[in-house]
Chains A and B, each alone.
Chain A
Amino acid sequence: MRVLAAGCVTLIALTTGAVAEQSPLARSEERLPCAHYDPLRRPFFGDTHVHTAFSFDAWGQGTLAGPRDAYRFARGEAIGMQPYDAEGRAQGQIQLRRPLDYAVVTDHSDLLGETQICQNEALPGYDSLVCRVVRHFPKLGYALVNGHVYSSEQPARYSFCGSGGTACLDAGRGPWREIQEAAEAYYDRSSACQLTTFVGYEWTGMPGGDNIHRNVIFRNAVAQAYPTTYIETPTPEGLWHALESECLAAGNGCDVIAIPHNSNVSNGRMFTATRSDGAPLTAADARTRARLETLVEVTQHKGDSECRAGAEDELCGYEKLSIARMMDMAGAGAAPADLPPLVYVREALGFGLVLEQRLGRGANPFRFGLIGATDTHLAAPGMVDEDSFRGHAAGTVSVRWGAPPYPDRPDFNPGGLGVLWAEENSRDALFDAMRRREAYGTSGPRITVRFFGGWTYPENLCGNPNFAAVGYAGGVPMGGELPPAPDMHRAPRLAVWALRDSGGGGAPSAPLQRIQIVKGWVEDGASRERVYEVAGDPASTASVDLATCTPGHGFEQLCRVWTDPDFDASAPAFYYARVVESPSCRWNTWACNAHRVDCRDPASVPRELAACCDASVPKAIQERAWTSPIWYAPAAASATH
């Protein structure tokens, strides 16, 4: 049936061209149809993780830009940033070179009210000890309050919130309303479909300092009456229950997903085989999670979460933090070798297959598509360019007085983007893409990647101008599950095509170096993984000129139809593509070059730029994109489902 449907889509595309007069999308909202509708889908670049002045930690870092500023920034307008003068005028300014297609403001649901109370003297609690400390010693307040609420196993409201936290919950209603109104105000409901915004928030659980945060994103303007908080609902199961009962089952058109992030500092608690109370995960638990958490953030400002450094995969050393827990950001943490299992997304994808074998078909709690985001705390969605990085104000580097010359912790980075394959730039189309996992993440560049899985793709598909049409007609796109094999002797064929980011607006860009396919499968009850080189030049010696940041040579585009040479029809598996650019300058190299740092003369290097001469900090990176996986389930398991 799926093949038939895809065939119909292809036929429509061939007979009508790429633009349809009327969108066949099932809409959950009233809006004009987009003028540009493509049944074969287009990539839309955006950011699902954005903090503004409504987030306590962003405000504590001096951010005063709100949700409306964030959306103005997303659509390409300049906004102010710290420092601010006594009248509140921004002394700094930031602007995207290329506007985004979509953005989601995801302020912390926790402390929404406290943030208001501590800066509004008309609200009760303004004169509390905590608020006084916060105002007088902003960074101390930042550390104390974040730690008190976010890092506690049993979080509690401050006493100034009153009985049951009522005062703080009440004070949080205004920001929550403004978040929704800003999303509405900047959502382009015209046929131009320039910018799509979503209502969202971040549930900020960090028990014992282990990050288990989720970004919650609503399909349309219908959202929860109040965002779920870690303080009142301190477990992921509680969050999922709240999303089901207050949204999905509300019968008012509410629809929602949640996106886990920063598993790299979860200390292994993001992906567990147990519930929060220690009981084993049930099939129902796993299905609930798979239904609500269709995507995972594979990369962002606070490091990469794809795979474990030191494993056989040499490219896993990319943007790794050397700490296991979010709370250790302020000091030295565990060395990578000490990290517990199931910290990284690839490990979770493999373990999900193992769990599904134990719990039953469809009970894979870690069936994640992959996206990237920034986690900016400057209200600056999509600010990912390495050459103009100003920090994202989410770490221990203070930006209250403006971005310092060396703008962030050496192991942080500008973050990534999420890319959604959708028919048009509207909420329903993009949300559907998130739900079906037809999405991928990039470390910042606007690399375009198509990835299809099937059984019968022709070898010459790469030269076919109807690559996408054939891809949909003969299989599934990224995020899907392979259809049953036509016979027992076939191995999956994966068609992957990537186009480099051409830059634009003056943004630096680099050519592609190679495409890899990462396979995970189950063998003897344990997960295994292997990386295959499928296109490009893995042996490339092209490097970047660190003095001028001119990247080496590479490819404009790469394509391959690849057949799994080690396929075992009895083993559940997943495949995802990783597209790697030629080396380019990392943000610190751009910053150090801009300040003409000469490490040959240490006495000339200002103290605030000393990290420029730290040999342990990488000077170059290989930017990349990660597609969502395509899963394979053995026929017997499919039959029992």
Chain B
Amino acid sequence: MSVRRAAWLLFAAFALTLPFPAVGPFGGFVPAVHHVVLLAATLAVAVAEGAAGPVPRILALFAVHAAVTLALTGLAAWLCARLLASRSPATRRTVVWAVCAALLAVSLAFELYETPFGRAPTANLLGVF
């Protein structure tokens, strides 16, 4: 597995599973991808129906959260990949897949996330989406 591929895989796993605090009036503790989903849903409604009232501010809030959390997960993934750069491709592959599997397992097994926009106050990974 190449370093670049390792970085991308780790980035995907981190973005999908690592919870980040949401700053602002709504709160929450959700993965970066969830911020992207919220941004996409709001953007879709704004495009289809117009962005009146507080909608632009909500859009801006989600956009900032999505950008910051994706940037942080990207940075974390890049750093991890750099750490693995000196290892053999086989070792890298083993470690990366192990990390991805562990993150997925933990995020599915436990209600790690606080989801103010969801249908329950806390959720595991499936509940988030």
Contacts and interface: CB of A to CB of B under 8 A. Distances in A.
A238 interface: no
Contacts of A144: 42, 45, 55, 58
B126 interface: no
Interface stretch (A135-143, A274-282, A354-362, A466-474): A135-143
B49 A330 contact: no
A155 B55 CA distance: 13
Contact of B58 (A130, A147, A152): A147
Contacts of A331: 24-25, 57
Given A147-B53, A151-B54, A156-B50, A140 B44 contact: no
A358 B45 CA distance: 48
A159 B44 CA distance: 13
Interface in B1-54: 24-26, 38, 41-42, 44-45, 48-50, 52-54
Contacts of A334: none
Interface string B105-129: 0000000000011111100000000
A151 B120 contact: no
B25 A129 contact: no
A138 B48 CA distance: 19
A129 B38 contact: no
Contacts of B44: 129, 133
| Centre residue among A138, A140, A400, A401 by max chain B CB count within 10 A | A140
B54 A327 contact: yes
A129 B48 contact: yes
A158 interface: yes
Nearest to A207: B53
A37 interface: no
A349 B60 CA distance: 40
B118 A152 contact: no
Interface residues of A, number: 30
Interface in A152-196: 152, 154-156, 158-159
B73 to A, nearest CB: 22
B118 A137 contact: yes
Contacts of B53: 146-152, 209, 327
Query: Which residue of A147, A150, A158, A209 has the most chain B CB atoms within 10 A of its CB atom?
Result: A147
Given A140-B117, A401-B121, A330 B54 contact: yes
Nearest to B49: A158
Nearest to B116: A139
Contact of A133 (B24, B45, B118, B121): B45
| Residue of A148, A151, A156, A396 with most partner-chain B CB within 10 A | A148
Interface string A401-432: 10000000000000000000000000000000
A144 B53 CA distance: 8
B17 to A, nearest CB: 20
A398 interface: yes
A148 B41 contact: no
A530 B55 CA distance: 43
B55 A140 contact: no
Contacts of B58: 140, 143-144, 147
Nearest to B52: A152
B25 A137 contact: no
A398 B116 contact: yes
B65 to A, nearest CB: 13
A253 B102 CA distance: 72
Contacts of B50: 148, 156
Contacts of A148: 49-50, 52-53, 55
B41 A147 contact: no
Given A147-B53, A152-B53, A130 B45 contact: yes
Contacts of B117: 137-140
Given A331-B24, A396-B25, A401-B121, A147 B52 contact: yes
B54 A130 contact: no
Nearest to B26: A139
* A137, A331, A400: most-surrounded residue (chain B CB, <10 A): A137
B82 to A, nearest CB: 35
Contacts of A143: 26, 54, 58
A56 to B, nearest CB: 14
B57 to A, nearest CB: 8
B52 A209 contact: no
Interface string B67-103: 0000000000000000000000000000000000000
Contacts of A149: 52-53
A153 to B, nearest CB: 8
Given A143-B58, A330-B25, A137 B52 contact: no
Contacts of B48: 129-130, 159
A306 B16 CA distance: 50
Nearest to A398: B116
A62 B57 CA distance: 24
Interface in A310-334: 327, 330-331
Contact of B38 (A140, A327, A401): A140
B55 A138 contact: no
Contacts of B49: 129-130, 148, 158-159
Contacts of A401: 120-121
A137 B41 contact: yes
Contacts of B26: 139, 143, 330, 396
20 contacts: A129-B48, A136-B41, A138-B118, A139-B116, A140-B42, A140-B117, A143-B26, A143-B54, A146-B53, A147-B52, A148-B52, A151-B53, A155-B52, A156-B50, A156-B52, A209-B54, A327-B53, A330-B26, A331-B24, A396-B26
Interface of A: 129-130, 133, 136-140, 143-144, 146-152, 154-156, 158-159, 209, 327, 330-331, 396, 398, 400-401
Given A136-B119, A147-B52, 15 more contacts: A137-B38, A137-B41, A140-B42, A143-B58, A144-B55, A148-B50, A149-B53, A155-B52, A156-B50, A158-B49, A209-B54, A327-B53, A330-B25, A401-B120, A401-B121
